[in-house]
Structure 1
Amino acid sequence: MHTITRMLSVLLLGGLTVAANASSGKDGWQKRIPRCGPDTKVVKFIEYDEGTAPAGGTAVSIVTFKEKKKKGCWIDVQDLHPTQSAVGMGAAACKSGKITRKGKDGKLDEWLLEDNRWVPLVRGPGGRFYLTDHHHLSSAVYNADIPDKQKKLYAYLIRDWSRMKEDAFWRRMEEEHLTWLKSPDGRTISPKELPSRIGHLQDDPLRTLSAWVRGSCGYVKCNPPGVTDEDAEGTCPARYADVACASEYFLEFTWAAHHATVPEVQAALAEGGACSQQAPLDQECLDRQRAKLAQSLPAAMAAAAAPAARTKPGYNPKAHDGVVPPCE
């Protein structure tokens, strides 16, 4: 009898453990994620609509979280090859501080595993992995004060063009809007002029300013597909529902170029405002840059709402004040 009771207890406890693990998502899939390499498979896209497309628009293609977990991989940030020349180092530095705290609290891996932080990759000639989005997140991880072994990201492969010649590869990258071949000063560059590593990305203060204007709804960027009405509450598309939101490629860079034409912005950055990427980051330079950009934000917001900007994607004609986001 005691034997049967013990057996039933073990079975019951085992069932409860399985149920608890299932409910908390701790099924061990995280530990099975392989390193990105030649065997990494290309993910499958699905058509998604459910009202996320602009009025009269078409459904968008997305990669589900389930698919990312099934075919995804992890990659050392040092092995990523950028597809743009610069980031807003001020914005990246703020995110880097948050990552440092996550790392010290033992919560970084869990944070990076969230669906919206997986990075898309293209496998190019020589098996190199090219990053096509999340350059700011990658730069933040690179510059975070955490051990090198923690400086990795979770990724999914969207294209495998590893058998292409270099010229054909970059033509395809441009055709599919997977690279931004512009320098911070707006000059067109060749793929050979792109930085070879995340640690070589330049700083573009206008890109940081553009993020502030976007965050203040100076222009309206569409929410990602799959965002629920509850999650969308308070976002710019929800607050300005009568404004046509934009989902164009490299939207922030497009608006950064517009901010560059604003006299007050030009004056604020006249003596240079870029801060070189180094380890550790030059916080004094970033603080000076932040003060200059904060001073020019009202003019940038006004220019974003001016009639001269009405042809820009996400144009919001309703002028209002901008807010400098806190640096967490």
Structure 2
Amino acid sequence: MAKTTTVRIEQLRPMQATVGMLEVDAKKKRLLQLDEKALKTFLKAAPIPTVIGRGDRHYVIDHHHLARALWDGGITRAFAAVVEDLSSLSEDKFWDTVIERQWVHPYDEHGILRAISAIPDEVSALADDPYRSLAAFVRDAGGYLKTPAPFAEFQWAAFYRTRVPMWTTEYQFHAAVEQGVHLASSPDARTLPGFRKQGRK
């Protein structure tokens, strides 16, 4: 069972290189609407999953968007659920382990696989991948099912990157989401995690 502890946001080390900033901004707005008590209750109920690496660093394995939203909103502390303590491993063995367990995703904002060194040291430096936001908004619109599959939204982002033109206005983004929902039920999407079969609620 994961151990929950409090952490400073600057203690968190990302395990991916990008986030969708539209999704981050939406989360930040919701967080800033909460009073202090409600915020603490929310964060305690949604701890950020981490693994401990060398130097007792907390490496984030999920909820990167929440971590970045907290940083952008000026919220300095959160709760972390420590999934595993790997601090006794050498650096090479640490990365071998997190790669094997699919906890790391070093793809850039264009969907290109990079070296582990491309992942920033702090959540404040995560780059924006617009298609990651599109994937999140399509999921929230019911296009596909939320799933615990590792980095599922990034797989959907890669799917949309070659099928949905980049938008430049809010209106165009809403149209992109509608197109994304339509594409989510197409035969091309059948192998993606969370694919919603026709008629499935």
TM-score, shorter chain, exceeding 0.5: yes
1:87 and 2:16 aligned? no
Matches within 5 A, 1:117-136: 117-136=46-65
User: Is the 8 Å Cα contact of residues 91 and 136 (structure 1) preserved in structure 2?
Assistant: yes
Pair 1:216-2:145 in alignment: no
Picking from 176, 183, 193, the partner of 1:313 is 193
4+ aligned runs moved over 6 Å, structure 1: none
Hey, what does 1:192 align to over in structure 2? 117
Alpha-carbon displacement from aligned partner over 1:131-172 (angstroms, at most 9, x marks no partner): 11111111111111x4xxx42111121111112222221111
Are the counterparts in 2 of residues 119 and 131 from structure 1 also a CA contact under 8 Å? Answer: yes
TM-score (norm 1): 0.57
Give deviations 1:180-216, integer Å, cap 9, x for gaps.
1211211111111101101001111111110111122
1:137 to 24, 49, 66: 66
The number of residues matched between the two structures is 199
Q: Give the TM-score taking structure 2 as reference length.
A: 0.90
User: Which structure is larger by alpha-carbon Rg, 1 or 2?
Assistant: 1
Q: Any unmatched runs of 5+ in structure 2?
A: none
Q: Which of the numbers 149, 156, 166 marks the counterpart of 1:255?
A: 156
Partner of 2:41: 110
1-side partners of 2:23 and 2:41: how far apart? 22
Higher relative contact order (CA 8 A, sep 6+): 2
Residue deviations 1:220-268 (CA, integer Å, cap 9, x gap): 234xxxxxxxxxxxxxxxxxxxxxxxx3211111111001111xx22x3
Q: Distance in 2 between matches of 1:205 and 1:142?
A: 19
The answer to whether the 8 A contact 1:85-1:183 is kept is yes
Q: Spell out the pairing of 1:131-280 with structure 2 (5 A cutoff).
A: 131-144=60-73, 146=74, 150-222=75-147, 247-262=148-163, 265-266=164-165, 268-269=166-167
The answer for the alignment partner of 1:37 in structure 2 is none
Letter in structure 2 aligned against 1:97: K
Q: CA deviation at 1:217?
A: 2.2
Matched residues, percent identical?
A: 30
Consecutive unaligned residues of structure 1, counting only runs of 5 or more, are 1-43, 45-62, 64-70, 223-246, 274-287, 320-328
The code of the aligned residue for 2:54 comes to P
Amino acid in the other structure paired with 2:83 = I
User: Which amino acid counterpart does residue 258 of structure 1 have in structure 2?
Assistant: F
Higher strand share: 2
* CA drift at 1:111: 2.3
